[in-house]
Structure 1
Amino acid sequence: MSAKRSSQDQLRLPLTRDVPTSASAFVRSGSNAFAFDALSAWPNDTGRVMALCGPAGCGKSHLAALWAERVGAVPLNGSEAALADPLELEGRPVLLDIAQDADDETLFHLINLAQQDGGALLMVSRPSPRRWQVAVPDLRSRLDAVRVLAMEAPDDAVLSAILAARFAERSITPADGVIDYLVLRIDRSAAAAADVVERLDAEHRPVTRALARQVLGASADLFEEPPEGLQP
């Protein structure tokens, strides 16, 4: 992003994108409560720049979308942020997803813009900004000072909600106990939940624990409880 870029060369990005329809269904739990509560009260006197970080599938982008919808933030994405017109970002909150992919100049300008009245910057990435590779010393010091809101992999409550939502999207009503069964046996990520629901749907049969066990195959056997009276 450069303020010196001519108006003829400046590419203008749309300043509004649809917030995912699932944003209102975000589940607050132990794995995300700290970040959820901080963003619910922000921007405030705690600073104008924050970073939302955590592993893949933990719900970072979902929570960030909820924040963006509330404050009317301009959504930008990774390296595409360099194409945004700085004049259109002045005095406005900005959401930068995949923030570690933005170039040094863009990050530096966005952090500066966030200090203006009405400005704020939420950067979303897997690693903390302290681990990003940057070449500009002033940018390094600014990133090291950013307040980081860490999220963890989905816990049981979040993973159950994700599975229920994926089943509902496909108009599937799983049998009692299926979701609890899956929560204990799949990777703790939104992607894993979506994948197993897709595989179950592809069977075109009622979704029961027996079907879930069949679809999961050997991975399910690792978690099977031993017969009654036997020790694991």
Structure 2
Amino acid sequence: MSQLAFDLAYRAASGREDFLIAPSNADALAWIDRWPDWPSGRMAIQGPPDCGKSHLIAVWREVSAARLLQPQDLSVEAVPALVADATGLALDDADAVAGLPEREAALFHLINLAAESGLSLLFAAREAPNRWPLALPDLRSRLAATGCVAIERPDDDLMAGLLVKLFLDRQTPLDPEAVTYLVARMERSFSAAHRVVVALDRVALAERRRVTVPVARRVLQEQGML
């Protein structure tokens, strides 16, 4: 008899020792290590969803004790309190401010106040700052002086390592051959890796079994990847 599979919260390993280094992300990690020597005291990490941008923010916060912000935290009135007593500021999903006048104004104010206070700023976004569809010219000007590094598409080694890490994060029992099978056949993207692992974890829990090649084949078929 299968058991019910629930969407339970889990904590992904997000320390520096857990970050998988590959040619596609080595430059981004190098810029984190180069802190505080960033252009204008600011750096942006650009890349597709689930590529490790938030993980790099966590790595930087380990050494900087920076305050983590989300776009919804931003308002002009809130900025002074956000900067006060901060040792640095990290804004995840930063390009989500684009097209929202209040948040654009708040980010402009945040950049100025952080510069006056000598605080470093780290942005994570899907697009480089010069591609954000901003309405505020002054904000575009400030962001033009921000350094930017991209995380590229993963190679086979990174995909394999990412799958193993995601399974370990969820404590999903796994046959190594299943990883080789998945890497050779699945969509080459970080988001696809997360989707497949979530689906396989549900099957493994519901059926009380390891992730094997036959299970992986079935889930890829269900995901439309075969």
Shift of 1:40: 1.2
Q: Can you give the 5+ residue segments of structure 1 that lack an aligned partner in the other structure?
A: 1-19, 222-232
Paired position in structure 2 for 1:94? 89
Which stretch of structure 1 is more off in the superposition, 161-170 or 50-59?
161-170
Q: Can you give the 5+ residue segments of structure 2 that lack an aligned partner in the other structure?
A: 1-10, 98-102
Aligned identity (percent) is 39
d(CA) in 2 for partners of 1:216, 1:130: 37
Larger radius of gyration: 1
Paired position in structure 2 for 1:181? 181
Shift of 1:87: 4.2
Could you say if the C-alpha distance between residues 70 and 187 of structure 1 is closer, same or farther in structure 2, counting changes exceeding 3 Å? farther
Paired position in structure 1 for 2:78? 84
> Is the CA contact 2:64–2:87 (under 8 Å) kept in the aligned structure 1?
no
d(CA) in 2 for partners of 1:95, 1:174: 35
Shift of 1:172: 3.0
Q: Does 1:211 align with 2:215?
A: yes
Q: Does 1:114 align with 2:114?
A: yes
Shift of 1:208: 1.9
What is the aligned length? 202
> Is the CA contact 2:163–2:193 (under 8 Å) kept in the aligned structure 1?
yes
> Is the CA contact 1:154–1:188 (under 8 Å) kept in the aligned structure 2?
yes
Could you say if the C-alpha distance between residues 124 and 181 of structure 1 is closer, same or farther in structure 2, counting changes exceeding 3 Å? same
With the length of structure 1 as denominator, give the TM-score of the two structures.
0.77
Q: Secondary structure at the match of 1:123?
A: strand
Q: Does 1:66 align with 2:59?
A: yes
> Is the CA contact 2:39–2:146 (under 8 Å) kept in the aligned structure 1?
no
* Equivalent runs, 1:147-186 vs 2, <5 Å: 147-186=147-186
> Is the CA contact 2:40–2:145 (under 8 Å) kept in the aligned structure 1?
no
With the length of structure 2 as denominator, give the TM-score of the two structures.
0.78
Shift of 1:127: 0.9
Shift of 1:206: 3.2
Bigger fraction of residues in helix: 2
Could you say if the C-alpha distance between residues 108 and 183 of structure 1 is closer, same or farther in structure 2, counting changes exceeding 3 Å? same
Which stretch of structure 1 is more off in the superposition, 167-176 or 121-130?
167-176
Could you say if the C-alpha distance between residues 197 and 72 of structure 1 is closer, same or farther in structure 2, counting changes exceeding 3 Å? same
Q: Secondary structure at the match of 1:115?
A: helix
d(CA) in 2 for partners of 1:85, 1:129: 20
> Is the CA contact 2:88–2:120 (under 8 Å) kept in the aligned structure 1?
yes
Q: Which letter maps to 1:22? A: A
Shift of 1:21: 5.1
Shift of 1:177: 2.0
Query: What is the aligned-residue RMSD (CA, Å)?
Result: 2.3
